[in-house]
């Protein structure tokens, strides 16, 4: 087994005395794709900020490989439609990585035909390809993707997941990806973590998909029902919400910290 690039041990974080992340343990390895799933308000975005070093945990240990190179693709980038910025110009604005790697990134993401297009005119799938190309210019060892297929049609999602797999393999990079639908990423995910303020279940996608807690969480409920879903542990006596012991925040209590 390769040495982890980043490890979290018993990481906890609270906002306004409400527990958002509770005893999080995870490790990210080169070439491995880890997918984070969970309902809205479960702490996914907060966990990403902790991994990126943008938010400091209250307790626990975080170990990063020395000089770890991290690439990040956010959910969405808003570009002023009045700004005359082409894809080529946008990619050249990157402060990270060498422009000598630009042709390789363009070829890998298949965006040659987009180089003269205005960024503001790109479709959701096209924009995500451009953002991925920009993120890999620095040849990251860890690539963090926050819902990379949001707003992309089904065919586009499948293509993007295939590209993400290619990136992980070609760069031997760890990929940490947030997704709402495990079924579409099944073929391109090595490890799945189900989060609802704490890690409810995790493992290979096939085993997590058969887990009763995952089945309840992704049984076709509407988003409102997902938001109040409660896991039941088999490993200890804690109820999923832990309200009496830890005052874990719910979506209704603290959606801005999700």
DSSP assignment of 187-255:
GG-SEEEEESSSEEEEE-HHHHHT-HHHHHHTSS--HHHHHT---B-SSSS-BTT-HHHH-BPPHHHHG
Considering the domain architecture, whether residues 224 and 146 belong to the same structural domain is answered as yes
| Whether the predicted pLDDT of 211 surpasses 50 | yes
| Whether the predicted pLDDT of 36 surpasses 80 | yes
Domain's final residue, options 100, 115, 139: 139
pLDDT, greater one: 164 or 245: 164
**Is position 252 within any domain?**
no
| Whether the predicted pLDDT of 250 surpasses 70 | no
Q: Is the dihedral of CA 154, 160, 166, 168 positive or negative?
A: negative
Going by C-alpha positions, the residue among 194, 146, 197 that lies closest to residue 13 is 197
Considering the domain architecture, whether residues 12 and 123 belong to the same structural domain is answered as no
CA 174 to chain centre: 11
When pLDDT is averaged across residues 16-45 and rounded to a whole number, the result is 92
| Whether the predicted pLDDT of 67 surpasses 60 | yes
**pLDDT tens digits, 81-138:** 777 899 999 998 876 666 677 888 899 899 999 999 999 899 888 999 999 999 998 8
Contact between residue 201 and residue 213 where contact means Cβ atoms under 8 Å apart: yes
User: Where is average pLDDT lowest: 11-25, 100-114, 222-236?
Assistant: 222-236
> What's the domain range around 86?
79-139
Considering the domain architecture, whether residues 194 and 173 belong to the same structural domain is answered as yes
| Whether the predicted pLDDT of 224 surpasses 90 | no
- With a CB cutoff of 8 Å and minimum separation 6, the contacts of 110 are 129, 163
* Residue linked to tokens 């491995």: 32
| Whether the predicted pLDDT of 218 surpasses 70 | no
Considering the domain architecture, whether residues 147 and 224 belong to the same structural domain is answered as yes
Percentage, residues of the chain above pLDDT 70: 79
Predicted confidence at residue 79, as pLDDT, reads 75
Q: How far apart (Å, rounded) are the C-alpha atoms in residues 110 and 122?
A: 14
Burial 60-87 (b: 16+ CB within 10 A, else e): beeebbeeebbbbbeeeeeeeeeeeeeb
pLDDT confidence bin for 10, thresholds 50/70/90: very high
When pLDDT is averaged across residues 153-160 and rounded to a whole number, the result is 86
Predicted confidence at residue 176, as pLDDT, reads 97
pLDDT confidence bin for 208, thresholds 50/70/90: confident
Q: How far apart (Å, rounded) are the C-alpha atoms in residues 72 and 74?
A: 6
Calculated CA dihedral for residues 57, 77, 88, 148, nearest 10 degrees? 70
Burial 107-146 (b: 16+ CB within 10 A, else e): ebbebeebeebbbeebebbbbbbbbbbbbbbbbbbbbbbb
Q: How far apart (Å, rounded) are the C-alpha atoms in residues 198 and 242?
A: 10
| Whether the predicted pLDDT of 29 surpasses 50 | yes
Considering the domain architecture, whether residues 161 and 43 belong to the same structural domain is answered as yes
User: Where is average pLDDT lowest: 7-11, 25-29, 160-164, 223-227?
Assistant: 223-227
CATH of the domain at 35: 3.40.50.300
Considering the domain architecture, whether residues 153 and 232 belong to the same structural domain is answered as yes
pTM comes to: 0.79
In eight-state DSSP terms, residue 21 is E
What is the number of H-type helices and E-type strands within the chain? 11, 9
**Number of neighbours of residue 223 by Cβ within 10 angstroms:** 10
Considering the domain architecture, whether residues 53 and 156 belong to the same structural domain is answered as yes
pLDDT, greater one: 55 or 206: 55
Considering the domain architecture, whether residues 41 and 134 belong to the same structural domain is answered as no
In the numeric block, which tokens belong to residue 130? 């451009």
| Whether the predicted pLDDT of 232 surpasses 60 | no
Predicted confidence at residue 112, as pLDDT, reads 94
Considering the domain architecture, whether residues 167 and 226 belong to the same structural domain is answered as yes
């Amino acid at each position: 087994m390769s040495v982890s690039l980043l490890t979290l041990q018993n990481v906890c974080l609270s906002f306004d005395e409400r527990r958002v992340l509770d005893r999080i343990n995870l490790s990210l390895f080169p070439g491995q794709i880890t997918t984070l799933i969970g309902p809205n308000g479960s702490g996914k975005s907060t966990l990403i900020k902790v991994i990126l070093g943008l938010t400091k945990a209250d307790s626990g240990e975080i170990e990063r490989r020395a000089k770890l190179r991290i690439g990040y693709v956010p959910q969405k980038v808003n570009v002023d439609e009045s700004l005359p910025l082409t894809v080529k110009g946008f990619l050249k604005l990157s402060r990270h990585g060498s422009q000598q790697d630009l042709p390789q990134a363009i070829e890998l993401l298949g965006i040659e035909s987009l180089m003269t297009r205005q960024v503001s005119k790109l479709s959701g799938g096209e924009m995500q390809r451009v953002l991925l190309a920009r993120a890999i210019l620095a040849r990251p060892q860890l690539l963090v993707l926050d819902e990379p297929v949001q707003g992309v049609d089904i065919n586009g999602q499948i293509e993007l997941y295939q590209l993400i797999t290619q990136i992980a393999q070609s760069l031997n990079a760890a990929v940490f990806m947030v997704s709402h639908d495990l079924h579409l990423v099944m073929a391109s995910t090595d490890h799945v973590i189900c989060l609802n303020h704490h890690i409810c279940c995790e493992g290979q996608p096939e085993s997590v998909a058969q887990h009763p807690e995952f089945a309840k969480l992704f049984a076709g409920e509407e988003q409102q029902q997902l938001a109040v879903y409660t896991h039941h542990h088999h490993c200890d006596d804690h109820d999923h919400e832990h309200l009496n012991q830890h005052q874990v925040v719910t979506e209704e209590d603290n959606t801005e910290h999700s």
